[in-house]
Structure 1
């Protein structure tokens, strides 16, 4: 019996259970860290790259990947001996996507919005501290702004983040800012930001006019369900160079009307004047 086993055996049962719990939680965190190494830009990743990025020994990474391959969550690319995400993830994410009724209700209006504005139309949901894209109709133009499905945003001045936070309590918003979960520019304090999102809630839309990126404009409007709860935001994403103030007003109008159509499809009865 090893010294470490002797030490654990000497522990009270409650402490042994907590140690086992901590070890199990650590393994889960390591698995998640490994999976996060796969991105749209970097779909094939090797053991050495992953080990360096997550701070684990290559043998530990190899064991994690072997288990994930067994479960078809990742698969090996034989020519390169690297790994990519596998089809098993679809089985895991499928029930979640199927339950996103707002995604199904939003698709036809989003498609019409992209055709009408000739800009990218996106649907985002809120996971508690980030805005997540769950549907996207790309602009038909050669120059456009798009993002990968599942992209997450925590920048306070992002149009959808503004709106989602506008429907959180001020206390919750301050907490997210103080913890660093929501990023604000240095010149914008929490109280100023709260005033800004209060205006966004009142007017029924939010705008990011080149504030998070000098190359992009974002316009967002809220989607409500039959209970009147905010369940998603419609976003128009467009290159900054072609969005004049007049065109911006047109995008706002189209975005708000599209969000209202989706809300009606979700059973929302009340529509503001």
Structure 2
């Protein structure tokens, strides 16, 4: 009983600290800059508490001290977080009409994914007419080595970055790539062909193809995929989908500035 009480108290203190740290960020956004005394007054806490919170935020570069070392302001870490969010919103916004057209043309589900540390993160999904009750993948993470989206995203990296991004090559089916050498060979094909396929690799009965979405600088920043059951996407049908898919992904890349002069 006492252990449970201590645990709840610790959790409550942690939540309070997070709340106070966010309050500091909001205060600095409103004030521009502020010293520890001013922040403590804003939060209604002791100066030592305000200092510890500010120091923690500073260690994550979310705040920084001004040149006179007396006051704090928002740091470059905020820009990094905001930039990542803005970039993802731009991708979704530019890709959405293209995804809708592709889903309508193929009748299958179209997804947009980005690299998120050691997995692929789904940002958006448009269901085609053939997908009666599609699984909603938005916000979910999927393995890189066993999916078409993951292979495309890995294909945009150099070998060192691929090794850093891919951990254990978990076997999901008998068709899953589980050796580093086989994965490297697969990624070479993806880079050469400009698209990736995955049939029965993550789940038996699931077929998918993906193509890269590039930034204005030519970097692979996202992938677009078309997926459906293998009985609707046998080899010949998948080849037809790949042509439509690569054209759609290229259109989104152009919308983001790739190939524009």
Match of 2:162 in 1: 173
Which residue is equivalent to 2:244?
254
* 1:68-110 deviation line (CA, Å, top 9, x unaligned): 8999xxxxxxxxxxxxxxxxxxxxx998544421211111101
Equivalent in the alignment of 1:204: 194
For residues 175-228 of structure 1, give each alpha carbon's deviation from its aligned partner in whole angstroms, at most 9, with x where no partner exists. Answer: 444x43x54568731011101111011100000111110121111000111111
**How far did residue 67 of structure 1 move?**
8.0
Residue 216 (structure 2) aligns with: 226
> Secondary structure in 2 aligned to 1:150?
coil
Cα–Cα, structure 1 residues 62 and 165, in superposed 2: closer, same or farther, change >3 Å? same
Find the aligned partners of 1:150 and 1:250 in 2 and give their Cα distance.
28
Q: Does structure 2 retain, via aligned residues, the 8 Å contact 1:145–1:239?
A: no
SS at match of 1:233: strand
Say which of 239, 263, 269 aligns to 2:259.
Answer: 269
Q: How does 1:77-226 map to 2 (within 5 A)?
A: 97-100=85-88, 101-143=90-132, 145-177=134-166, 179-180=167-168, 183=170, 188-226=178-216
Aligned-residue Cα RMSD (Å) equals 3.0
Note the C-alpha offset of 1:131.
0.9
Work out whether residues 158 and 208 of structure 1, in 8 Å CA contact, stay in contact via their aligned partners in 2.
yes
Q: CA deviation at 1:61?
A: 5.0
Structure-2 change in CA distance of 1:155 and 1:223 (3 Å): closer
SS at match of 1:173: helix
Question: CA deviation digits over 1:210-266, x for unaligned, max 9?
Answer: 111012111100011111111110011212222122111111111111101101111
Q: Distance in 1 between matches of 2:165 and 2:86?
A: 29
Moved more, 107-116 or 148-157: 148-157
Distance 2:185 2:221 in 1: 22
Mapped contact 1:125–1:232 kept (Cα < 8 A): yes
Q: In 1, distance between residues paired with 2:82 and 2:177?
A: 42
Q: Distance in 1 between matches of 2:143 and 2:194?
A: 20
Query: Unaligned stretches of 5+ in structure 1?
Result: 1-55, 72-92
Size of the alignment, in residue pairs?
194
TM-score (ref. length: structure 1): 0.62
